[in-house]
Amino acid sequence: MATITVGELFQTLSEGPLSGLSMSNEGNGSIEDGSHNKLINYANDGLVRLYTKFLIKESELILEMQPYRTRYEIDSRYSFSGHKAGSEDPVYIIDHGSPYQNDLIKITQVFLLGKCRDVAFPLNDPERSDSLFTPKPNELQVPNPVLGTALSVSYQAKHPKLPYDNLDTQIYIPDGLIEALTSFISSKVFSHMNGAENTMKGQEHLADFNNLCNEAMQSDSVGMTYPTTNTLFDRRGWV
């Protein structure tokens, strides 16, 4: 697992795929100040794409079952940390230790809290009486909730959104996907520029992004294309 800073990402872009553009300061390893926010937006979009294609980060939250409630939308407004005073929204996400950040991509596994973690509930299996369902990526349907019990929900998580004003911000990304991220950002840069030649360059960079992702999937070089029980970054040092 690699960690690079936003500044290092800018250096790679300036010296590489964007070196011919004025925003790269003639390829000297920096990006002109006026283009920082644009590239950060593109980087955030690229990280969402990569974290969706690959299971890079898996997190966990606790859902407290409530009587007669069978659908649980996983949104911070239903959490202890995100609940606003005076709101009539129910509170069922227990996040006292680590506030839920609305970073869910999709639910991967669900366990009964306090029980053996070797046996997960089946998901979206109508032939199983104990199956739970995900009508939407951020919603868990529990047909038979039991008051006084809680569920441990593992989910594929997004990368934290990169801020605009800190070149030292770390980006957590597997080594094999750094080039894919720079290709995605470059495709956005060129596709938003006028001219047929720039449009073609944007398409070429997007094709590179897709090819690099496909290669990583086929070789499983990223090593994170499957669901696991534990939080991957917790095991690898990003806590």
Q: Minimal CA–CA distance to 232: which of 121, 181, 157?
A: 157
Question: Model confidence over 203-215: pLDDT tens digits?
Answer: 999 999 999 999 9
Degrees, nearest 5: CA angle 203-209-215: 135
- pLDDT of residue 105 exceeding 90, the answer is yes
Q: Which residue bears the tokens 């038979």?
A: 144
Measured distance CA(231)–CA(102) in Å, rounded: 16
Question: Model confidence over 82-98: pLDDT tens digits?
Answer: 888 888 899 999 988 78
Residue 116: which pLDDT band, with cuts at 50, 70 and 90? low
Q: Enter the pTM of the model.
A: 0.87
The pair of three-digit structure tokens given for residue 148, joined into one six-digit string: 């006084």
Rounded to 10 degrees, the C-alpha dihedral 112/115/91/76 comes to -80
Q: Which residue bears the tokens 């499957």?
A: 226
